[in-house]
Amino acid sequence: MLGGPRKRQSTVKAEHDGTGSSATEADRFPVSVIIPNWNGVEFLPACLESLRAQAYSAFRTVVVDNASSDGSVALIETKFPEVSILRLDENKGFGAAMNIALREARSDYVACLNNDTEADPAWLGELVACLERHPRAAAATSKMLNMNERERIDDCGDILTAYFRAYARGRGEEDAGQYDEEEQVFGASGGASLWRSEVVRELGYFDEDLFAYYEDVDLSFRANLAGRECWYAPRAIVFHAGGGTSRRQASEFAYYHSVRNRWSMIVKNGPAPLLWRSAPRIVFAEMLSLAKAVTERKTILTLKAHRDVVRALPGWARRRKEVQRMRRISSGELRRLMSAGYPSLGHRIREASASVFRARAT
């Protein structure tokens, strides 16, 4: 994720790759790995070195730099000349950065990769193989593990609950084999996933109104509505530092955008029959969040986020018409893709089961 202040104007200032050719030329590779970056110089070396070590080599790497001031571009130019760079003169956020590179790409597949990750050598090849096994899949998502506790799960695909809350599946759990099956999930994490380029274009790209947070869930939601699928590839492993550059931004920024963008996703994407059916749960979850905000002294921030939700409703309503015209599945089919409740209870049950499994194994 990307944070920090936004300016009002932006242009692509330069782009190059290690061969000296323009990145706007037709790609010679079936995969483009796109890494949005904002002041991530401390993370980039490990990330880019891990891409050099990939067993699957038919790809090019593009870093979209959101006006970094920490020497990120100089590092790439000096240490990783094979990497293409798209330099922006402002921080446009994750979705806009991805879209700029997506519009330039000519590859069949595009991978989203956070700058604070290290990819296992088999990572990209496993994602490509997963998409090829599932022709209706829009995306394949990775098994993301904690960088510092490598047996601890960060994300095994995104889930959306009946309360219209999104969560990273398995986050915080010990990796004890409980997510080792290739299976369909609700969404693909923007931290490490592979998308069919054609499908992303058909869906209208990432929503650039969502500066940070919920961009990947929103795109996955639209893919599901269009009758596409998202698949989890358990052998596509990535280690994630957990927040990267965004952990340096104020918690208020993250909280505000999470609240605002969640409502953007609900308003634009939720089919009316399902929203009416889920309304009591949505209101209940919102009341719980408000109570938590009071205890955490975020009441004013929460009210500000909801004020801006109201202000944005006319624009979201117009966007909703476009999204719903693309819908190819029923409300019932969508509901079956969603999780029944909060994942915290399931997390505690799985942790207990894993403890029992380990005890028996010893």
Q: Is the pTM of this model over 0.85?
A: yes
Confidence of residue 253 (pLDDT cuts 50, 70, 90): confident
Q: What's the whole-number average pLDDT of the chain?
A: 88
For residue 9, pLDDT over 90 is answered with no
pLDDT of residue 62: 98
Report DSSP state, residue 234: E
**Beta carbons within 10 angstroms of residue 92's beta carbon:** 23
Report DSSP state, residue 339: B
pLDDT of residue 353: 53
Confidence of residue 170 (pLDDT cuts 50, 70, 90): very high
Token representation of residue 209: 């109104």
pLDDT of residue 250: 56
Per-residue burial over 118-156, b if 16 or more Cβ lie within 10 Å, else e, is bbbeebbbbbbbbbeebeebbbbbbbbbbbeeeebbbbb
Confidence of residue 251 (pLDDT cuts 50, 70, 90): confident
pLDDT of residue 244: 47
Please report the DSSP string for 244-306 in residue order: GGGGGS-HHHHHHHHHHHHHHHHHHHS-HHHHHHHHHHHHHHHHHHHHHHHHTT-HHHHHHHH
pLDDT of residue 230: 98
pLDDT of residue 11: 44
For residue 118, pLDDT over 70 is answered with yes
**What are the helix and strand counts (H, E) for the chain?**
11, 13
CA distance 44 to 268: 35
For residue 4, pLDDT over 80 is answered with no
Confidence of residue 242 (pLDDT cuts 50, 70, 90): confident
pLDDT 10s digits, 135-147? 999 999 999 999 9
Domain boundaries, the chain: 251-345
pLDDT of residue 340: 80
**Beta carbons within 10 angstroms of residue 58's beta carbon:** 14
CA distance 154 to 145: 5
